[in-house]
Structure 1
Amino acid sequence: MKTKIAGFGYHEVTTPDGVRLNVAVGGSGSPVVLLHGFPQTHLMWRHVAADLAADHTVICPDLRGYGDSGKPADTDGETYSKRTMAADAVAVAREFGFDRFALAGHDRGALVAFRAGLDHPGAISHLAMLDVLPILDTWAAMKGREAAVGFHLYLMAQRPGLAEQLIAGAPDAFFGYFLDLWGRDPEAIPAEVRAEYLAASRGAIDSIVADYRASANIDVEHDLADREAGRRLEMPVTVLQEDWGAAMGFDGAALWRAWAPDLEHVMMSSGHFMAEEAPTQVVKALRALLAR
């Protein structure tokens, strides 16, 4: 029996290109879409979503390639581009009657949210991104010995075949490594939830690698084009971030401000999985964003 967000209904939404998405929906009121990160599913939002549902319609999909959503083969290098996945988020919101909505993402979901804000500014009223840098800034920050923390980015950037084979040899060890390394509070992800994350990731190796591979290729091209065109996020933006920037020698707030002039940048004392480790702080920040 899979864990579900209490009080939420579960739906299937088919994207315009035919990918079936698993979507949890709860509450009523102005819409908020929440996008999960790696190596998780929509379930990472369970605490935050339940709180926001008191006065918002909260929509939590599994990203394409993750969880119980469809996992199409990446035949053209664009199937898992953040542009494609951002269009998924817009299509999901429209399925439930919303042409304009607030959007928050964590980790991989934050990269999707970032792209949605650039590609669909008329649809995104408020934008929050949790513990990530824009793709171009991530690659620029990865240098020297400190870049070893991002070894998985380089592994999954390789041509199809090698990364998939290596990860398939010990999937629980690979995905579990990040759940252990990136969190500060082991109790924040209970054993049954951890088991679900591992099982979901074990069944999605090819699509997860394709998602990361896109961020070394087509996603970079999209972000470069936007930077050269001077395109920025014009809606109110909140970024929640661990203080890993200091260790790697960059100023996260400055990097984000170059993309988002209306920025609230908040340093968090939790680990990477902040929606599970510090849900009260995350809810407070999201509600403050929605009030801007």
Structure 2
Amino acid sequence: MLFDGFALTTRTVNGVSYRCCLGGSGALLVLLHGRPETHAMWHKIAPALAAHYTVLCPDLHPERTLAQQADDLLGLADSLGHESLILAGQDYGARVACEVAGLEPSRVKALILLEALPGPDHTGRDDMAFSLTQYESCWFGQLHPKPEANAVQVPAEWLDDPVSEDSFFSPEAVKDYLSAPVWRSSTPFSWPASRPDLHCPVLVLWGEKGRIGGWYNPVVPWQEVSTGKVTGQALSGEHFLPEEAPQETLAAVQDFLASTL
């Protein structure tokens, strides 16, 4: 069973319903999922965090703007009786977390950003090799029928039935990812042109086998947009760190919060 001790609930704010997992007690820690997942991506680490924090894991609404979602999340915090909050976000969730921090900086006490960069600045990297690292370009740069067969926006193993026993993805979580309507909107997604303006402590985590650490020292771009202290480290894994390396991710988050709050 995923999220042992949590309640799966629906909360409405600003006229929008958010499906959430909620558990624990203490300061509010909001965990925001990335693409193409749901709140279920946090199931391996959320219960341990709930021993010390009120942990809220909502499904995001990508069809709403970042500003709208940020306002919604602050409304969810209000509904739980919390003035201040801590935010952790992976990929797309990290950008939403930054939007919250920019909207109400006095309320956000810390940010934990996984597999994310502050903006789409790839100056000096837009050559053929860089372009072919993008998911769609990687496949469409190959001969037919490879592109058509592989241009799928989910990991291929999610489509296995059943999910392989040696996969780090939980079959129950994968079922949620594929059945939830989070990413089914026809509204195209694009990263905002503006870069965040952060003022709280920031922890940056990235996969040592992934692309972000190969392109950058990921701490540096975040230091450029933050007046608060920025620390970071690489973890085993490629992109889905809370599922690929849950114990490392949990330890990094716990150490950061213990030294920050």
Superposition TM-score tier, normalisation by shorter sequence: 0.7 to 0.9
Query: How far does the alpha carbon of each residue in 1:220-273 deviate from its partner, in whole angstroms, 9 at most, with x for none?
Result: 1x43xx6xxxxx31111000012424533x332211110124101111221211
Secondary structure of residue in 1 paired with 2:198: coil
> Does the CA-based 8 Å contact 2:67-2:99 persist in structure 1?
yes
Q: Cα offset for 1:21?
A: 0.5
Question: Alpha carbons of 1:135 and 1:91: their partners in 2 closer, same or farther (altered >3 Å)?
Answer: same
Match of 2:86 among 102, 116, 135: 102
* Cα contact 1:93–1:99 (8 A) shared by 2: yes
Alignment equivalent of 1:260, drawn from 201, 216, 226: 226
1:54 Cα deviation from its structure 2 partner? 0.8
1:273 maps to what in 2?
A: 240
Give, in angstroms, the shift of residue 196 of structure 1: 2.3
Q: Distance in 2 between matches of 1:141 and 1:113?
A: 26
2:77 maps to 93
- Which of 7, 11, 19 is the equivalent residue of 2:16? 19
**What SS does the aligned partner of 2:109 have?**
strand
Supply the distance in 1 between the matched residues of 2:221 and 2:198 (Cα, whole angstroms): 13
Counterpart CA distance in 1 for 2:220 and 2:18 is 35
Match of 1:36 in 2: 33
Note if 1:195 corresponds to 2:175. Answer: yes
Percent identity, aligned pairs only, is 29
Match of 1:285 among 252, 256, 259: 252
Secondary structure in 2 aligned to 1:188? coil
Matching residue within 251, 255, 260 for 2:217: 251
Change in CA separation of 1:199 and 1:172 when aligned onto 2, cut-off 3 Å: farther
Going from structure 1 to structure 2, the CA distance change for 1:252 and 1:143 (only over 3 Å counts) comes to: farther
In 2, Cα distance between equivalents of 1:265 and 1:114:
16
Tell me, yes or no, if structure 1 residue 174 matches structure 2 residue 153: yes
Partner residue of 1:150 out of 97, 122, 134: 134
Alignment match of 1:206 (pick from 179, 182, 185): 185
Q: Distance in 2 between matches of 1:179 and 1:257?
A: 35
1:110-159 deviations in Å (ceiling 9; x for gaps)? 11111211221111111110011112336875543223232459xxxxxx
C-alpha change, 1:39 and 1:141, in structure 2 (3 Å) is: farther
Distance 1:240 1:93 in 2: 25
Q: For 2:74, what is the secondary structure of its paired residue?
A: helix
Question: For 2:101 and 2:133, how far apart are their aligned partners in 1?
Answer: 28
1:286, distance to aligned residue in structure 2 (A) = 1.4
TM-score under structure 1 normalisation? Answer: 0.73
Distance 1:141 1:92 in 2: 39
Post-superposition Cα deviations, 1:24-70, rounded to whole Å, max 9, x if no partner, equal 110111110100111111011011110001111101101114xxxxx
Matched, 1:83 2:67: yes
Structure 2 residue aligned with 1:68: none
The TM-score normalised by the length of structure 2 is 0.81
CA pair 143-200 structure 1, distance change in 2 beyond 3 A: farther
Distance 1:34 1:100 in 2: 14
The structure richer in helix per residue is 1
Equivalent AA in structure 1 for residue 3 of structure 2: I
Structure 2: which 5+ residue stretches go unaligned? 138-147, 160-164
Distance 1:141 1:87 in 2: 34
Find out whether 1:242 has 2:239 as its counterpart. no
Query: How far, CA to CA, are the matches of 1:178 and 1:172 in structure 2?
Result: 14
Q: 1: CA distance between counterparts of 2:158 and 2:123?
A: 22
Shift of 1:11: 2.0
User: What's the secondary structure of 1:271's corresponding residue?
Assistant: coil
What per-residue deviation string (whole Å, max 9, x for no partner) do you get for residues 157-196 of structure 1? xxxxxxxxxxxx999943234969xxxx952102332232
